[in-house]
Structure 1
Amino acid sequence: MKAYQEIIQWVNSFHEQGETIQSAEFLINEYNLNHPNFKGFELREKAKPDFILMTTEGILGGPQIIRIPENTFEFPLNLMLNLLAHEMIHVQQKEKGNVVTDKNEREWQAYYENIFHIQFPQIPELSVFYKKACANKALDYYNRMEVGSELQLKYAEQKEEVEQLLKSLI
């Protein structure tokens, strides 16, 4: 993998040429995020600093498209890498034979990955601000699971990890 500063230069070069999709493709290849169930990127409306929306779209069990804002790379690269990793978790979760049907579980798993980088350890750490935001979003999705359900029990230990992390970030 290239050095982080070199990656930033590549991304900036793509961005200056208006090649947002090529930049995203470069990053998923550079950071080994690609997955056989990934069909490609499509652009969506520009993001705002307080609202950056990326989505994974496609039928469960079928190939997935990730829609990214046309101005994705105007934002901090480590944040964008974490958002791309989040969406690639969703691509995996929607693969035929590996479908995670519960939306709360899908989001829990993706936010947990953003916090702890278990599957994608090569992704840079988030700032404390964004770690807190992801931890709180993960807990929101955990709390949306049926109270005392098998799903909550399945993630009870991870929930404790997230709560401990939040306490340590205060």
Structure 2
Amino acid sequence: MKTYQDQLQIVHSYHEIGETIAAAQFLIEKYSLTHPNFKGFELREKAKPNFILMTTEGPLAGPQIIRIPENTFEYPLHLMLNLLMHEMIHVSQKTKENLIEDKNEREWQAYYEMLFHKKFPQIPELPDFHKRFFAKKALEYFNRMGEGSELQSKYANQKLETDNLLSFLDAKTK
């Protein structure tokens, strides 16, 4: 595998010539994020520094496309890799074999992976301020599962890990 710096240079080269989709494809292959249910990338409107939107679109149990901002690679590569991983998790969640119909559960699983990298340890860790942001997003979806629900019970241990991470991050900033 090429070094992170080599990959960064390749991504920047693609970005400079307007090949955002080629850069994203390169990354999902290099980081072993590919999935048979993935149909491809499409571009969407430019992201803003405080709002980077990527979405996974397609019918449940059908092929999925991921829409990424045309300026995706103007932002830090470690963040973009985590966001691409998040969307590729959604691709796998929308297969016949692994179908997760509840959106809150899908989002919980994807945000949890962004925090702890249990399925994809090869993805670079996020800085603390991003971890804090995504932990709070994860907890929003956990809370939407319904207090005391079966889904909340299923993810109770992961929620505890997330709460502990937030407490740790908060203690570091004091």
TM-score range (shorter-chain normalised) is over 0.9
AA aligned opposite 2:60 = L
TM-align CA RMSD: 0.5
* Residue of structure 1 equivalent to 2:104: 104
Counterpart-to-counterpart distance in 2, 1:155 and 1:9: 39
Counterpart-to-counterpart distance in 2, 1:97 and 1:4: 33
Q: Which runs of 5+ in 1 are unaligned?
A: none
Flag as ranges the 4+ runs of structure 1 deviating above 6 A. none
* Residue of structure 1 equivalent to 2:75: 75
* Residue of structure 1 equivalent to 2:50: 50
AA aligned opposite 2:67 = R
Where do residues 5-24 of structure 1 align in structure 2 (5 Å cutoff)? 5-24=5-24
AA aligned opposite 2:59 = I
> What TM-score, normalized to structure 2?
0.97
AA aligned opposite 1:60 = L
> What TM-score, normalized to structure 1?
0.99
Counterpart-to-counterpart distance in 2, 1:18 and 1:5: 20
Would you say 1:3 and 2:3 are equivalent positions? yes
Shift of 1:57: 0.1
Counterpart-to-counterpart distance in 1, 2:135 and 2:2: 29
Counterpart-to-counterpart distance in 2, 1:146 and 1:17: 47
Q: Which runs of 5+ in 2 are unaligned?
A: none
Counterpart-to-counterpart distance in 2, 1:7 and 1:148: 44
Superimposed CA distance per residue, residues 77-106 of structure 1 (whole angstroms, 9 cap, x where no aligned partner): 000000000000000000112110000000
Counterpart-to-counterpart distance in 1, 2:70 and 2:96: 29
* Residue of structure 1 equivalent to 2:61: 61
Identity %: 70
AA aligned opposite 1:87 = E
Helix, strand or coil at the partner of 1:67: strand
Helix, strand or coil at the partner of 2:47: coil
The alignment of Structure 1 onto Structure 2 pairs a total of residues equal to: 170
* Residue of structure 2 equivalent to 1:37: 37
AA aligned opposite 1:23 = A
Helix, strand or coil at the partner of 1:40: strand
* Residue of structure 2 equivalent to 1:27: 27
Helix, strand or coil at the partner of 1:51: coil
